[in-house]
Amino acid sequence: MQKAATAVKVAVPELIVIADTCLCEYTSHGHCGYLEVGDLTGRVLNDPTLELLKKTAVSQAKAGADIIAPSGMMDGFVQAIRIGLDEAGYQDTPILSYAAKYASSYYGPFRDAADSAPQFGDRRTYQMDPANGREAIREIELDIAEGADMLMVKPALAYMDIIWRVKEATNLPVAAYNVSGEYSMIKAAALNGWIDEQRVVMETLTGFKRAGSDLILTYHAKDAARWLS
């Protein structure tokens, strides 16, 4: 990721590079941090993981990332990363926190493509219960207090109410993450001729905007940009 960030900034310096700051893509077990030896429940050791996230975030900033986006849902991760960035001289590098990230089934296609599914257990010990809407507000309040500059809701399609509630609760920019499962459903239906892909995509993205999102991260980005132009 660091090499990619540097290459992008050299080739197209005007592009904004957002670095996903997590550890699951680098661990043999597929979880988002250190685990207790022999623990097969997927329970992450929070505080040791924070130290490694600080180092990761600083290395990403050094590589040219414009925005650090921690996604592991560790308690205190925004504060730890803010301290790490400040100490390394990156006081002006903003943090886009995955403040409300749910333990969702919509991540399936990405995990298959990236071979990043947990090897045992699941991520429910540190990601949020899809049935719990009030927890999102508690999570964003904690992240704001720790120094988050922007807030992410992930996934987006089944969580537009959460996007709205987060937007109503803060003046910070709110991002919606339109994830792989949401993308794949539209692509599959379009390939079967069941829907008009362009109209459905634009209606979906409009829904995210109407729900209150200031930023939308989506696999439809290239197509949407072409249609809008």
CB 217 within 8 A of CB 175: yes
154 assigned to active site: yes
DSSP label at residue 171: S
Query: Looking at 9, 55, 154, 222, which residue is catalytic?
Result: 154
Give the C-alpha separation, 226 to 229, whole Å.
5
> How many residues does the structure list for the chain?
229
CB 61 within 8 A of CB 70: no
CB 8 within 8 A of CB 63: no
101 assigned to active site: yes
Backbone phi and psi for residue 179, each to the nearest 5 degrees, phi listed first: -85, 180
CB 201 within 8 A of CB 216: no
Backbone phi and psi for residue 16, each to the nearest 5 degrees, phi listed first: -90, 125
How deeply is 33 buried, as exposed, middle or buried, from its count of CB atoms within 10 A (0-12, 13-18, 19+)? buried
Query: Looking at 101, 167, 187, 209, which residue is catalytic?
Result: 101
Q: Would you name the residues annotated as active-site residues?
A: 101, 154
